[in-house]
Amino acid sequence: MSTKTIAIPPSFILGAAASAWQTEGWTDKREGQDSWPDLWYKNDRHVWHDGYGPAVATNFYQRFREDVQLMKQAGLTHYRTSINWSRFLTDYENGVVDERYAAYYDELFDEMQRHGIVPMICLEHYELPGYLLETYGGWASKKVVELYLLYVEKVFARFHHKVTRWFTFNEPIVVQTRVYLDALRWPYEQNTGTWMQWNHHKNLATAKVVKLFREKGYQGTVGCILNPEVTYPRSRAPHDVLAAERYDLFYNRVFLDPMVKGHYPPELFRLLEKHQVAWDYSEEELAIIRDNTVDELGINLYYPHRVKAPSRAWHTETPFHPTYYYEPFELPGRKMNKSRGWEILPEIIYDMAMRLKNDYGNIPWFVAESGMGIENEGQFRNAAGTIEDDYRIDFIAAHLYQTLRAREAGANCQGYMLWAFTDNVSPMNAFKNRYGLIEIDLQNNRDRRPKKSAGWFRKLRDERQLTL
């Protein structure tokens, strides 16, 4: 069997990601400091796999020192997590900082610095305070944009000397798509206008954060973590190609274009108007978006998205849903991660890299999440108790290879981050699909155990080359 080797440049990020709400647990959480996932969990616990959720998560809040040691052992250069807005403040209207929670971040950042691990911090990973959802309808309200800025101002003031890479959101499209387009998550309301309003206000909030950061003269960068899905049409026939273009417009370009190019695609305005989707924006807001584009992007890439032209039976006109223009398509014989039901196609990274190079001015970016969630990983445990996750090693190697190959072809890709560092709870699936380099043993006090992939990752870091 022939092998190929590719170099990993010295400055290239080899990291892993997580978020506050998926790891920390509720220790020291005060009455009323619920985030959207916390409220969802409290109101609808039975939909969360085996009843696990954010209440304990991995208990990172109490065990972060142990985890930072493990990050060092696994050779991470960078670690991405979020600050939980719903817990960073005790009063969202007046921006009162919860000193106890802020002190935990001080300690976490210091500990990471001691171990040479660079923090990359997201300001919202679905952690919209429940109070703001219930009082103002969340991101549907311009008041929430204002209160988010107040929160971010407090975060920057407190941590700008410890953190220099900031991200306004993780996957800003996800919550409103699941809640207001598809009505699949709490509070299960269909309203396409609300969906677009959330999109717009998150674009506006991002631009305002960029502006604030620059005006204050802080050192570093502000970006956003997006999850554009590489969308392939079933065939080159015009109606299938159009379906892919429309999918791309509604789910990818709705964030990529304003954040990187400074404006929405005119076609998006046209289609929203055609379908009478009501949303509110002003010329002044569009000007803020135009003048304050992001410094970099993190891109989460898990699987390819395949579409075909919609059949009559599939799409409905009222209320408007983008499925009016497309229908999912399953490629026969595709390679699958059966646990998660996602197709595996490492080339999505190369294709996305070329898109960002050719259509988005070769903006600096990195793979912010790539990973493989596997059910019942215990079956792969060896006699010494270690999970032998060779499938994960193969997955990372194939995806990292595409990242490095794209870089060699001129893409401005700065790194690769695995989802996730440890197993953690994810929306609804909780601990069902395990993603970590490090196992969280739910039967034994959530003890941490490096999987085989953690040792492999370390070697990658030491050797600075990937062999396939």
- Catalytic residue positions, numbered: 171, 369
Q: Does 170 bind ligand BG6 (CB under 6 A)?
A: yes
Q: d(Cα 412, Cα 319) in Å, to the nearest integer? A: 40
Using the rule CB under 6 A, which residue among 8, 12, 16, 19 binds ligand BG6?
A: 19
Of 3, 9, 15, 2, the closest CA to residue 408 belongs to: 9
Enumerate the H helices of 219-346 as residue ranges.
238-247, 254-256, 266-274, 283-291
Region 227-246 residues binding ligand BG6, contact defined as CB under 6 A: 227
Q: Does 429 bind ligand BG6 (CB under 6 A)?
A: yes
Q: What's the min distance (Å) between Cβ of 315 and ligand BG6?
A: 26
Candidates 433, 451, 458, 466; binder of ligand BG6 (CB under 6 A) is 433
Which one, 98 or 171, has the nearer CB to ligand BG6? 171
**Position 373 contacts ligand BG6 (CB under 6 A):** yes
* Nearest CB to ligand BG6, comparing residues 341 and 361: 341
**In this complex, which beta carbon is closest to ligand BG6, that of residue 57 or of residue 411?**
57
Q: How far is CA 356 from the centre of its chain?
A: 18
| Shortest distance in whole angstroms from residue 265 CB to ligand BG6 | 23
Asked if 177 is part of the footprint of ligand BG6 (rule: CB under 6 A), the reply reads no
Those residues whose C-beta lies under 8 Å from the C-beta of residue 370, and which sit 6 or more positions away, are 300, 301, 302, 349, 396, 399, 416, 417, 418, 419
**CA 73 – CA 87 distance, rounded (Å):** 30
Stretch that binds ligand BG6, among 238-246, 380-388, 402-410, 421-429 (CB under 6 A): 421-429
**Token pair of 337 as six digits:** 């991660």
Judge residue 115's burial from the number of C-beta atoms within 10 Å of its C-beta, 0-12 exposed, 13-18 middle, 19 or more buried. Answer: middle
CB of 197 to ligand BG6, least distance (A): 22
The one segment of 184-192, 397-405, 425-433, 436-444 that binds ligand BG6 by CB under 6 A: 425-433
Output the smallest distance, CB 80 to ligand BG6, in A: 10
Q: How far is the CB of 349 from ligand BG6 (least distance, A)?
A: 15
Place of tokens 């990242």: 403
Q: Which stretch binds ligand BG6 (CB under 6 A): 90-98, 388-396, 422-430, 440-448?
A: 422-430
* 426 touching ligand BG6, by CB under 6 A: yes
Measured from the CB atom, is 81 or 197 closer to ligand BG6?
Answer: 81
Amino acid letter at 142?
A: K
Tell me the window of 88-96, 156-164, 387-395, 426-434 that interacts with ligand BG6 (CB under 6 A): 426-434
Residue 36 touches ligand BG6, criterion: CB under 6 A: no
Q: Which residues contact 407 (CB under 8 A, 6 or more apart)?
A: 9, 12, 353, 413
Helix (H) or strand (E) segment spanning residue 466: strand 465-467
Decide: is 340 part of the binding site for ligand BG6 (CB under 6 A). Answer: yes
DSSP letter string over 325-369?
S-EE-PPTT--EETTTTEE--THHHHHHHHHHHHHSTT--EEEEE
- Which residues have CB under 8 Å from 380's CB, separation 6+? 387, 388, 389
Decide: is 24 part of the binding site for ligand BG6 (CB under 6 A).
no
Q: Does 298 bind ligand BG6 (CB under 6 A)?
A: no
Closest C-alpha among 359, 304, 346 to residue 328: 304
Residue 369 within binding range of ligand BG6, rule CB under 6 A: yes
The CA distance from 193 to 295, in Å, is: 29
Binding site for ligand BG6 (CB under 6 A): 19, 22, 170-171, 227, 300, 340, 369, 373, 419, 426-427, 429, 433
